[in-house]
Amino acid sequence: MAFQSVNPATGKVEKEFATWTESELDRVLGQVAEATPAWGLTSHAERSDLLRRAAQVLQENKSEYARLITLEMGKLLKEAEAEIDKCSMAFEYYADNAEAFLADEIIETDAGRSLVAYLPMGTILAVMPWNFPFWQVFRFATAGLAAGNSVVLKHASNVPQCALAIEDVIRKAGFPENVFRTLMIGASQVQSVIEDPRISGVTLTGSEAAGRKVASQAGAAMKKSVLELGGSDPFIVLDDCDLEWTVSQAIASRFGNCGQVCIAAKRFILLDDVADAFIERFKESVDALKIGDPMDADTAIGPMSRIDLREELHQQIQDSIKAGAVALTGCAPAPGDGAFYKPSLLDKVEPGMRAYEEEFFGPVGIIIRARDEMEAIRIANDSRFGLGSSIWTQDVERGERLARLLQTGSTFINGLVKSDPRLPIGGVKASGYGRELCHHGIREWCNTKAIWIK
């Protein structure tokens, strides 16, 4: 088996990489295991210096890394450059804050002195997706490394060049050899890595199906796991919203990265009083999006990451239309080479349709109407997913009151849902468990140890 790096804008195979044998995998895991204890004993100052150097490496090579992202998964070049900037910010954030996050916590007990220490766990396996090939990895790895853990990465099979480039960032930054390694292995080899006694935990960002499998394997092996899975985020438009602003943010939230974002707005839940006006402006804006070369600065919609994913999305849309949903625009592959799909809107979506029940991972907005705010909340919660959500209203007290009723890991009021190192990110229900970023994310990968001294 070989990993293929395929340009989704052209369908051209750019490079191929051989999959490792079991002996190659065992050798690298052994090297990481040898490096791990010493890394766990390094000072916070040493780690912070290396984290800052990694941020510099990313900036010094931003153009190269961004073009590689665009080449392998089709992200607009300007979006890829922003992704590299975000990774740098995460390294700087943990360089500045990790020591405080992991400081001993003094607890008053019957002991002469008692405390909670946050200590490294060992080696963490990261199973990561292709849609943000640098950010998804560093969203976890910045915290994992800052806590004194080593990291092994099993990246998505369609971004092998990004996977190797990520390891190169860590190497160029001067981290000790083998505290971060990319494993060139297939999905069938993941279970053996999880079960390996040299691995202490596993984190996965990806599909619900992959998450259930990894959670099962990690549980059987008695290993810690953190999962950030799919989402079908509600974008709730109330009757007192700033309509023009809300439509502009709806476009950004749904069609950024060609709609291939876990925390993108996917279900647009509109109160009846504002629905027609919102849809009219929304459709005009969708129809104005320019499809084209992701390297072109004027392009608004690049290709989807793979042809098979485009076909899967199209089938979901067609099945929903057969069940009664109304295609307002798009809803078809774009002609020509590559994995392009027309930016699309589906109206009149109701329970039982695939558009209502499933995550749509591509450039299509799903419109659902609600009589009032409480029906909007009920519809938003009527999903097995619970990742992000947003509420659009000029009454922020109303927005906060309703935010507390949403069964999601985050709610943004008058802003599109985004990951920010200063805030935890993660989901509930079938969107996973555990948190990344902020102090919550770094402590996920610590042995939270009580020490009692008489």
- All domains of the chain in start order, with CATH: 2-229+429-453 (3.40.605.10), 233-413 (3.40.309.10)
Q: What angle do CA 146, 149, 151 make, to 5 degrees?
A: 105
Catalytic residue among 258, 262, 331, 446: 262
Tell me what pLDDT residue 334 has.
97
> Rounded CA gap, 262 and 230, in Å?
6
DSSP 302-335: ---S-HHHHHHHHHHHHHHHHTT-EEEE--SBPS
- Percentage of the residues of the chain whose pLDDT score is greater than 90: 100
- Predicted confidence (pLDDT) per residue in 290-314, tens digit: 999 999 999 999 999 999 999 999 9
**For residue 145, pLDDT beyond 80:** yes
CA 264 to chain CA centroid, Å, is 10
Q: Is 241 a catalytic residue?
A: no
What was the pLDDT predicted at 2? 81
CA 289/CA 271 separation, integer angstroms: 25
Mean pLDDT confidence for 185-208: 97
Alpha-carbon distance values, 45 to 106, 122, 169, 411 (Å): 22, 19, 20, 35
Is residue 14 scored above 80 in pLDDT?
A: yes
pTM listed for this prediction? 0.97
Q: Please give the order of strands across the beta sheet that includes 113-120.
A: 105-106, 113-120, 446-453
Checking if the pLDDT of 76 tops 70, the result is yes
pLDDT in tens, 107-123: 999 999 999 999 999 99
Interatomic CA distance for residues 437 and 141, integer angstroms? 10
- Segment 72-76 mean pLDDT: 97
Question: Does residue 281 register a pLDDT over 70?
Answer: yes
Cβ contacts of 188 within 8 Å, gap of 6 or more: none
pLDDT digits (tens, 9 = 90+) for 409-448: 999 999 999 999 999 999 999 999 999 999 999 999 999 9
Per residue in 252-270, pLDDT (tens digit) is 999 999 999 999 999 999 9
Beta pairing class for 326-329 and 344-347 = antiparallel
Residue 250 makes CB contacts below 8 A (sequence gap 6+) with 235, 237, 265, 268, 278, 282, 285, 365
- On average, the pLDDT of the chain sits at 98
Reported as a pLDDT band with limits 50, 70 and 90, residue 1 is low
Catalytic site residue from 167, 228, 358, 436: 228
